[in-house]
Amino acid sequence: MSAFAVAERAVEAVPDASARSGSLSGCLFAAARAAPQRTALRDSGDRAAWCGRPAITWTYAAAAEIVGRLARGIGAWRLPAGSRIGLWFSGGAEAALGHLAVEAAGHLPCAMPAAWDPEQLAAGIEAANLVGVLTEGRRGARRPAEELTHVAMRQFGLRYLAAFGPGVPDGVISLDAMALERGVAEPVASRGLVTFEGSDPERPIYRSAEALAAAIAAHCDALPLSADERILTLLPAHDLRGLVTGLGAALAAGAGLETVIPFEEAGFRTALLRPVPTRMVVPALIEPALAALTLPWTVRSLNVVHRAPATLIRRTAPDGGKRRSDSPRSDSPPAGAPRLDTLVLGETALVTRPDLAATLAHPDRAPLPLDLLALALASDGGLACRGPACAAAPLPRGVTPEADAGAWRDSGYRAVLSGGAVIGVAAV
């Protein structure tokens, strides 16, 4: 599979509009047809030490071919359409390929946090009623595939276990071998996504394909991402915040996605200095460390992601949060990359704006994409949201729920006000 590694290459073509409004795997295949040699996925850091595999750069063509092969292999499992299949990865290109393959095969991807211990893993499998789980052979000092085999002994409904990489034990299907088999399946319509509220294994949340596409579009409304750029992210893709700001946004624009997971300073600095126009995505937790870091001229925006409850700071954005892509190139760093803040309201909604505090204080005046996401602030500070971008619902065992996109829903959080300004968001 390392033969698919290629150099960075910018291509002007982008996926067609129909692909953007469809599944993530559909976006991948559309971009592969339009610009096959454009970089889609790249791993950073010492992947060999972390998972026993080299860091690989995947073009859109190579990624689509591997996803198609994996989807064909998963299809051979003869599961009913829409079966729930877990994704238990630490991050990186393999996590993205696994997610896209499950979706392309017509099943429901269920993203699970890598930090779960075996008891949490068992609880998540039970709560989401999973029939299969994709994972990895090595994860630092852990052996996820081996742990999964022990958990599976207590899960009678769990029929298929599969893993990438070395160290795949007996009884677990090798995804590496599956990726080398002949035959590529075209993606079918997406059936949506399952994540877990607050990483709680007993609280799976369902989001339809339309709701996921709307969440991505609402986020991208504030992010002028183009196909010749990349997203450099420090967030794993096991929840809504990581999927929307990373893989979802990249595929919607036909751009590249580079992940720095697990984080290590040398790999991060190498990735940051790569000469590619970059939209960087970081958790608010590391913001103090970033304040001392000089960003290269290639960083066109910094997206700081806050998980509610959170403290917020009023910011000004005279340029609307956008930076001209035709600015003269210079070896000296800019005074500061334009900044976007994303507030994550559980697994319900993401709000991305250049001035998040002002948006929450006066949502009726904010230039939100109201056909996708609307916010309302009650007199007591309670935040409500409406629109397809926040149409999520708890996942029961036997059925797929429906969420009313036109109904106002309580976010579970309230704005913390001081002198008429929003200074944070707290749980209700």
Give tens-digit pLDDT for 150-165. Answer: 999 999 899 999 999 9
pLDDT one-digit tens code per residue, 342-386: 999 999 999 999 999 999 999 999 999 999 999 999 988 999 999
What six digits make up the tokens of 326?
């035709």
- What is the percent of the chain with per-residue pLDDT over 70, rounded to a whole number? 89
State the Cα–Cα distance between residues 160 and 204, nearest whole angstrom: 20
pLDDT, tens digit, 9 for 90 and up, residues 380-405: 899 999 999 999 999 998 788 988 99
State the pLDDT confidence band at 336, using cuts at 50, 70 and 90. Answer: low
Q: Tell me, what's the pLDDT at 4?
A: 29
Residues above pLDDT 90, as percent of the chain = 74
Q: What angle do CA 90, 340, 369 make, to 5 degrees?
A: 100
pLDDT at position 399, please?
A: 84
Q: Are 44 and 55 within 8 A, CB to CB?
A: yes
- Indicate the burial class of 367 (C-beta count within 10 angstroms; 0-12, 13-18, 19 or more): exposed
Structure-model confidence comparison of residues 290 and 17, the more confident one = 290
Task: Return the pLDDT at 316.
Answer: 55
pLDDT at 53: 87
| CA distance to 155, 247, 258, per residue, from 55 (Å) | 33, 17, 11
Query: Any idea what DSSP says for residue 265?
Result: H
In the chain, DSSP finds a helix count (H) and a strand count (E) of: 14, 21
Q: Which two tokens stand for residue 281?
A: 């995505």
Helix (H, G, I), strand (E, B) or coil at 235: coil
Residue 422 pLDDT: 92
Segment 161-174 shows an average pLDDT of 94
pLDDT of 12 higher than 80: no
Average pLDDT over every residue of 159-181: 95
In the predicted model, what is the mean pLDDT of the chain?
88
Give the full edge-to-edge strand order of the sheet including 299-307.
57-59, 39-43, 256-259, 230-233, 278-283, 299-307, 339-345, 349-353
Q: How confident is the model at residue 22 (pLDDT cuts 50, 70, 90)?
A: low
State the first-to-last Cα distance of the chain, in angstroms, to the nearest integer.
49
**Residue 110: predicted pLDDT:** 98
| 49 vs 70, higher pLDDT | 70
Mean pLDDT confidence for 217-224: 95
Are the CB atoms for 23 and 105 separated by under 8 Å?
Answer: no
Asked if residue 331 has pLDDT above 90, the reply is no
How confident is the model over 233-281, as pLDDT tens digits? Answer: 999 999 999 999 999 999 999 999 999 988 888 889 899 999 999 999 9
Residues 12-32 have a mean pLDDT of 66
Q: What are phi and psi of 348, to 5 degrees?
A: -90, -50
* Predicted local distance difference test score (pLDDT) of residue 397: 83
Q: Which residues contact 287 (CB under 8 A, 6 or more apart)?
A: 304
13 has a pLDDT exceeding 80: no
How far is Cα 1 from Cα 18, in angstroms, rounded to an integer? Answer: 30
Chain-centroid distance, C-alpha 326: 28
What is the model's pLDDT at position 315?
Answer: 64
Q: Are 227 and 253 in contact (CB under 8 A)?
A: yes
- Phi and psi angles of residue 33, each rounded to the nearest 5 degrees, phi first: -75, -35
pTM here is 0.90
Predicted confidence band of residue 220 (pLDDT cuts 50, 70, 90): very high
Name residues whose C-beta falls within 8 Å of residue 386's C-beta, 6 or more positions apart in sequence.
Answer: 373, 374, 376, 405, 406, 407, 408, 409
Quote the pLDDT of residue 294.
85
| Ranges of H-type helices in 10-91 | 17-20, 24-34, 47-51, 60-75
* Helix (H), strand (E) at residue 194: strand 193-196
Determine the pLDDT at residue 131.
97
The strand ranges marked E within 33-190 are 39-43, 57-59, 84-88, 108-112, 132-136, 160-164, 173-174
Q: Read off the pLDDT of residues 281-325 as tens digits, 9 standing for 90 and up.
A: 999 998 888 877 888 999 999 999 999 999 987 765 444 434 333
Give the pLDDT of residue 251. Answer: 97
Using an 8 Å Cβ cutoff, are 305 and 241 in contact? yes
Query: Cβ(274)–Cβ(44) under 8 Å?
Result: no
